[in-house]
Amino acid sequence: MTSGDLIGIAGIAAMLLLLALRMPIGTAMLLVGIVGFAILNGVPAAIAALGTYPYEYAAVYDLAVIPLFVLMGNCAAASGMGRDLFAAAYAWVGHWRGGLASATVAACAGFAAVSGSSVASAITMGRVCLPEMRRYNYDAKLATGTIAAGGTLGILIPPSTAFVIYGILTEQSIGRLLLAGILPGLLLTAIFMATIAIWMRFRPEYGPPGPRATTRERLRATGKAGPMMTVVLISIGGIYAGIFTVSEAAAVGGFLSLLYAWWARALGGNAVPTILLETVRTTSMVFLILIGAQVFGPFLALSGLPEHIAAGLAGLDVPRVVVLLLILGVYLLLGTFLEGFSMLVLTLPIVIPIINALGYDLIWFGVVMVIVLEMGLIDPPVGINVFVVKGLVPDVPMSEIFIGILPFWLAMMVCIGILIAVPEIATIIPDSMIGK
């Protein structure tokens, strides 16, 4: 082990210590990165990096998609698109046993296509769907587990902030990543709904059926969900058809969502300042983390630690899938105490050289990694979506929420297994539309 490796390990340990002391992740990475630079390259080089990296990175044109997608999601939430989408899904499947839960998953998947945020999906759909499931006497474990797990679809189905960050940090095409998330997102949605159906076979009393809607009611409800479907079709479909770049699609989606919120008269009172403030707050948080990662990542690269770890793992006399499973296992372990976004920016400088050495496609790995991050959103004890749901139903014990989440967590494991066995599920759309 070289002195550079020791410095790299010390930097990671210092990072974890600062996080344990509740320092913001972006600030912690920036501090450790600059100190590491000074140790490895000297103080003048560290000062030069501190003076140039933040501005140069914040000025990257591709990062414009982040505030625009965040604005799109905030406008969609304010305009009631989530409520209309749930009503449409409920009209079609609400009469099944567990139908309200299945409608919630379908609505979460649809809302994910305009929000790009798991937390936003969980909050919006939780406020809409939980009262309905409680009104029909759904078991608390099924109701809360469905909301927490369904919300995770927000960072898999495009637009996805996680894919944007992954693409920037790994220098992969953001357009290809967004397209790669479509089929896996639909697959995971279908697996979630199958999980609910299996659950109802063993515990039918957990999800009593609701009234059957007439054909006219179904068509009317579907028509009300039309604006959201139109936004998705134009923005994401424009990327798929090659009409828009990702940044242009984000701008179009943000404008259409704002226009619909105005048409739906959802911009009165303090709505506009609230939407803009939430957009700025979220964007600032993401940019600070990215700037910190841009300093911390090169520091690790200078230490040589990622390359030595990659060479060591690639040289193991085991099938490459074993190394991949070990990496995913580490992510699941990290998910028990680290927030998913933090894991993404902290670990990519170490993990990506390993994945490259193993010969895996980085677009495919991005999809798998996002699903693992989704699992972290519902992992005990830090799962953010769990605390979101707990805030919506304070009378439900945390233990019941985690019990309700377990079947969906296992469903995510099944989805990852399918993607490992059939990687083309993630790559076929970007390969056919954009090329390799």
For 246-287, what is each residue's pLDDT tens digit?
788 888 988 888 898 888 888 887 888 998 998 888 888 878
Cα gap 189→108, rounded to integer Å: 9
pLDDT, one tens digit per residue, over 221-239 is 888 888 878 888 888 788 7
Neighbours of 64 (CB within 10 A): 15
Residue showing tokens 């790995």 = 365
Tokens of 110: 């649809």
Give CA 380 to chain center in angstroms: 17
pLDDT-derived band at 203 (thresholds 50, 70, 90) equals: very high
- Check whether 342 has a pLDDT greater than 80: no
pLDDT, one tens digit per residue, over 20-32 is 787 887 888 889 9
Cα gap 105→292, rounded to integer Å: 35
- Using left for φ > 0, alpha for ψ between -120 and 50, and beta otherwise, residue 388 falls in alpha
Tokens of 154: 């927000």
Tell me what pLDDT residue 337 has: 65
pTM of the model: 0.83
- Check whether 126 has a pLDDT greater than 80: yes
Helix (H, G, I), strand (E, B) or coil at 214: coil
pLDDT-derived band at 198 (thresholds 50, 70, 90) equals: very high
- Check whether 382 has a pLDDT greater than 70: no
Give pairs for 106-110: CB < 8 Å, separation 24+: 106/189, 106/193, 107/82, 107/150, 108/147, 108/150, 108/151, 108/153, 108/154, 109/150, 109/153, 109/157, 109/185, 109/186, 109/189, 110/85, 110/225, 110/228, 110/229, 110/232
341 against 267, higher pLDDT: 267
Tell me what pLDDT residue 131 has: 87
Q: Taking each helix axis as running N to C, give the angle between helix 182-202 and helix 362-377, from 0 to 180 degrees, rounded to the nearest 10.
A: 40
Close Cβ partners of 24 (under 8 Å, ≥ 6 residues apart)? 288
Q: Which of 146, 151, 124, 125 is nearest to 207 (CA)?
A: 146
307 against 217, higher pLDDT: 217
CA dihedral 222, 227, 232, 234 (to 10 degrees): 120
Tell me what pLDDT residue 193 has: 94
Q: Taking each helix axis as running N to C, give the angle between helix 99-115 and helix 182-202, from 0 to 180 degrees, rounded to the nearest 10.
A: 160
Cα gap 253→273, rounded to integer Å: 19
Residue 112 and residue 186 in contact, taking contact as beta carbons nearer than 8 Å: no
pLDDT, one tens digit per residue, over 28-62 is 888 998 999 889 888 888 888 788 877 777 777 77
- Using left for φ > 0, alpha for ψ between -120 and 50, and beta otherwise, residue 32 falls in alpha
- Check whether 314 has a pLDDT greater than 70: no
What mean pLDDT is reported for the chain? Answer: 85
- Check whether 317 has a pLDDT greater than 70: yes
Cα gap 142→107, rounded to integer Å: 16
Q: What DSSP designation does 139 have?
A: -
Residue showing tokens 């749930």 = 86
The pLDDT > 70 percentage for the chain reads 97
Residue 119 and residue 388 in contact, taking contact as beta carbons nearer than 8 Å: yes
Cα gap 355→40, rounded to integer Å: 26
